[in-house]
């Protein structure tokens, strides 16, 4: 877990114009209740610009906009640029606002943008409004730094100075002679160059070369030059090639000899089996017959032939092994439709019925009590003492009574929120401190006989703005006769506003709202656990994770897997969900788990994915001192492979001889 650094706090700012008392620096003072604001001037471009202390690597930007229903529609097409100069609309376009106005949450917007620069500009091309920024935060590290509080220095082996501010990965790869995400590993024997993707010449002695430029430390016999790519003047190219070719031919002969030897041994085993197999069977039968002849059956029970009417064979039911095991445990898990509740965008709830072996398979027992959904681990009530609003207020029963923590189910004690009986639709809404991932909502109603009618057809919404009946529908009451004084609603949704709405006409005249307590359980975006104290994994594809166990809702970034995206791909795999395999031309099938680029290539391959081939031939006609490298490479490969094949063949022969000895020993019967 890394402690992020806000590079914007307290830094220099400017804006196109300023409304008195709303200076540009108020957007970087760390206080969300103070806002900067431009002064609308026709014909001028609207912008707000931040100057960082130095060129920095930016990972993401988070900003809060002053909420105004009239201004939300003007946020469309606003843009954020990161650049190395103060010029407007220059550098890299980091973000363009193109969401539906109803989906825009002006209180907090998080933008992921991996780039470098010193100036961050917020630009609005619509001149009919003003820019109103309450807080603007830029996260990352100065170039050359990374890690917790940007306390670590990027490796000096990076090809260019910048490295990723999170884990220090070298952005543009490694200098010659080094490899790895942080370029901290020197090239292994046989490789050199940037990221160690180039193979030493096969004519280098012991395949050893300089890890930076590939020059050979020593050459194979008969070769000279920095790369050992020239023949000694006294060496005849054709003789050397013939020597390599002879070695290749010799290897082929060994392969033929080994194959013939294996075939001969297999033939011996087959003959031995058929020759002695009948004898073994005959001896075993004789021993068994001899034992049975000494057993007396004088007092043994006799079996009478079955009667035709003794058993109804058509009525016999044969059960599978799994059915037998289920019958023993007397329990089956059955999906049971719940007609008394309708959950929208929520967790599917199943009930468990039990089967008794005495009742038979086709007679499921109904559970005595409905099985409740599993309780959430989250213990943080995000709604407690938060701002609320409702359609109207009956006497002193205002909306904040429903989030005061008082569970007294009595209107007379002023512990509930109640609306006036003068409208045909009513709502109650709470504003959370920030955008959060909601796990479940707990409603407590007044203890009154009329509550059944009042609760019919009510709806619960979670949204990113204050508008009623927007966002996601979390729950809709579909029961004709709602029962109970409480209702637990489970829905995994993201938002800041929770709205209780009903248009059911109580006593066919008006709609009423009567809430004694509302608890919204979940965690702010980026946190999870019972106390919302654990951070979501940085490897989540999107920042949100489930508030209970920290599962990444949007899946994992490439290169990671598991519910919390904490596990890197297994060796040889990469990409989204670790579903892609590394290229077969990667050395040892080893590649980076994020994008699949090979850490090193097999000899003769080149490129990020090692998909290209190096030029294996040279022009022997124009330069007679340079041998045919392609033919030499082939001969060397045959020679090296021949050594391994001979070793494998010898081991195989020894193993087969051992098998024959064991078989022959077992064939010995007295």
Write out pLDDT tens, residues 102-143. Answer: 667 666 788 888 889 999 999 988 777 788 898 999 999 999
E runs forming strands in 359-513: 388-390, 417-418, 426-445, 459-463, 472-476, 486-502
* Overall average pLDDT of the 207-222 stretch: 90
- Smallest CA-to-CA distance from 494 within 477, 476, 475, 474 is with 474
Q: How far is CA 591 from CA 24, 167, 621, in A?
A: 47, 18, 39
Q: How far is 343 from 545, CA to CA, in rounded Å?
A: 21
Q: How far is 239 from 9, CA to CA, in rounded Å?
A: 75
Structure tokens at 37: 């604001």
- Smallest CA-to-CA distance from 380 within 445, 439, 444, 460 is with 439
pLDDT digits (tens, 9 = 90+) for 413-454: 778 898 888 888 899 999 998 889 999 999 888 766 666 667
CB atoms within 10 A of CB 510: 16
Structure tokens at 459: 């709806």
- CATH label, 12-149, candidates 3.50.50.60, 3.30.930.10, 2.60.120.260, 3.40.309.10: 2.60.120.260
Given this chain, do its domains 12-149 and 388-535 carry the same CATH topology?
A: yes
- CATH label, 388-535, candidates 3.40.50.1370, 3.30.70.3040, 3.40.50.280, 2.60.120.260: 2.60.120.260
224: Cβ contacts below 8 Å, ≥ 6 apart: 230, 231, 232
- Smallest CA-to-CA distance from 38 within 49, 52, 54 is with 49
Q: How far is 304 from 658, CA to CA, in rounded Å?
A: 53
Residue 249 has pLDDT above 60, yes or no: no
Structure-model confidence comparison of residues 575 and 346, the more confident one: 575
Q: How far is 513 from 459, CA to CA, in rounded Å?
A: 12
Residue 354 has pLDDT above 50, yes or no: no
Q: How far is 606 from 604, CA to CA, in rounded Å?
A: 7
Q: Which of 99-103, 158-162, 329-333 has the highest mean pLDDT?
A: 158-162
Residue 568 has pLDDT above 70, yes or no: yes
What pLDDT score does 629 carry?
44
Structure-model confidence comparison of residues 387 and 340, the more confident one: 387
Place of tokens 């931040």: 50
Percent of the chain at pLDDT > 70 equals: 66
pLDDT digits (tens, 9 = 90+) for 184-195: 889 988 899 988
CB-based contact 460:474 (threshold 8 Å): yes
CB atoms within 10 A of CB 6: 16
Structure tokens at 454: 């009042």
Q: What is the DSSP letter of 545?
A: B
pLDDT digits (tens, 9 = 90+) for 600-656: 998 888 888 888 776 543 333 333 334 444 444 444 454 555 556 666 766 776 677
- Smallest CA-to-CA distance from 228 within 605, 585, 604, 632 is with 632
pLDDT digits (tens, 9 = 90+) for 8-65: 999 999 998 998 899 999 999 988 888 999 887 656 678 999 999 999 999 889 888 8
Mean pLDDT computed over every residue of the chain: 74
pLDDT digits (tens, 9 = 90+) for 589-598: 899 998 899 9
Beta bridge pairs of residue 37 = 132
Q: How far is 474 from 520, CA to CA, in rounded Å?
A: 12
Q: How far is 89 from 79, CA to CA, in rounded Å?
A: 9
* Overall average pLDDT of the 86-106 stretch: 79
- Smallest CA-to-CA distance from 426 within 319, 500, 520, 537 is with 500
Could you tell me the residue ranges of all domains in the chain?
12-149, 238-267+635-670, 388-535
What pLDDT score does 408 carry?
74
Q: How far is 637 from 278, CA to CA, in rounded Å?
A: 49
Burial class (CB in 10 A: 0-12, 13-18, 19+), 509: exposed
């Amino acid at each position: 877990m890394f402690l992020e650094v806000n590079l914007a706090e307290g830094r220099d700012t400017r804006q196109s114009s300023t409304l008195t008392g709303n200076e540009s620096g108020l957007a970087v003072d760390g206080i969300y209740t103070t806002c900067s604001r431009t002064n609308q001037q026709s014909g001028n471009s609207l912008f707000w610009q931040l100057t960082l202390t130095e060129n920095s690597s930016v990972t993401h930007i988070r900003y809060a906009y002053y909420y105004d229903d009239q201004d939300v529609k003007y946020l469309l097409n606003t843009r954020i640029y990161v650049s190395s100069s103060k010029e407007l609309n220059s550098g890299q376009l980091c973000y363009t606002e193109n969401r539906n106005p109803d989906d825009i949450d002006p209180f907090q917007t998080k933008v992921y943008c991996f780039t470098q620069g010193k100036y961050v500009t917020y630009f609005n091309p619509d001149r009919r409004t003003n820019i109103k920024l309450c807080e603007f935060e830029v996260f990352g590290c100065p170039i050359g730094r990374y890690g917790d509080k940007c306390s670590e220095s990027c490796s000096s082996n990076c090809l260019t100075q910048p490295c990723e501010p999170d884990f220090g990965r070298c952005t543009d790869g490694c200098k010659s002679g080094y490899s790895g995400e942080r370029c901290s590993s020197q090239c292994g024997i046989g490789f050199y160059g940037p990221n160690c993707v180039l193979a030493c010449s096969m004519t280098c002695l012991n395949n050893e070369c300089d890890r930076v430029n590939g020059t050979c430390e020593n050459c194979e016999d008969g070769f000279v030059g920095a790369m050992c790519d020239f023949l000694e003047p006294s060496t005849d190219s054709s003789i050397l090639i013939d020597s390599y070719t002879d070695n290749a031919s010799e290897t082929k002969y060994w392969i033929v000899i080994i194959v013939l030897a294996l075939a001969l041994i297999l033939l011996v085993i087959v003959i031995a089996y058929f020759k002695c197999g009948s004898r073994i069977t005959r001896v075993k039968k004789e021993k068994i017959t001899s034992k049975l002849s000494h057993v007396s059956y004088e007092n043994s029970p006799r079996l009478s032939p079955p009667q035709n009417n003794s058993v109804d064979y058509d009525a016999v039911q044969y059960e599978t092994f799994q059915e037998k095991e289920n019958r023993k445990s007397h329990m089956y898990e059955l999906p049971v439709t719940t007609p008394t509740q309708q959950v929208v965008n929520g967790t599917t709830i199943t009930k468990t019925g039990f089967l008794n072996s005495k009742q038979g398979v086709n007679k499921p027992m109904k559970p005595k009590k409905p099985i409740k959904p599993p309780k959430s681990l989250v213990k943080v009530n995000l709604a407690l003492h938060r701002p609320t609003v409702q359609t109207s207020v009956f006497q002193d029963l205002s909306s904040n009574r429903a989030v005061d923590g008082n569970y007294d189910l009595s209107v007379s004690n002023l512990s509930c929120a109640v609306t006036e009986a003068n409208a045909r639709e009513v709502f109650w809404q709470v504003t959370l401190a920030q955008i959060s991932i909601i796990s479940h909502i707990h409603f407590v109603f007044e203890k009154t006989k009329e509550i059944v009618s009042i609760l019919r057809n009510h709806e619960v919404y979670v949204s990113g703005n204050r508008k009623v009946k927007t966002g996601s529908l979390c729950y809709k009451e579909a029961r004709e006769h709602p029962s109970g004084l409480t209702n637990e609603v489970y829905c995994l949704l993201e938002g800041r506003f929770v709205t209780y709405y009903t248009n059911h006409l109580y006593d066919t005249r008006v709609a009423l709202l009567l809430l004694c307590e509302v608890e919204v359980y979940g965690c702010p975006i980026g946190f999870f656990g019972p106390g919302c104290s654990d951070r979501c994994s940085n490897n989540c594809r999107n920042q949100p994770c489930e508030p209970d166990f920290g599962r990444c809702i949007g899946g994992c970034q490439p290169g990671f897997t598991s519910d919390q995206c904490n596990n890197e791909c297994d060796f040889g795999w990469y990409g989204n969900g670790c579903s892609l395999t590394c290229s077969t031309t990667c050395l040892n099938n080893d590649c980076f788990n994020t994008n699949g680029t090979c850490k090193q290539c097999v000899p003769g391959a080149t490129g990020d994915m090692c998909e290209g081939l190096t030029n294996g031939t040279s022009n022997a006609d124009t330069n007679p001192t340079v041998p045919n490298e392609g033919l030499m490479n082939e001969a060397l490969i045959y020679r090296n492979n021949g050594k391994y094949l001979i070793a494998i063949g010898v081991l195989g022969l020894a193993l087969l001889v051992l098998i024959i000895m064991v078989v022959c020993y077992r064939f010995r019967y007295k």
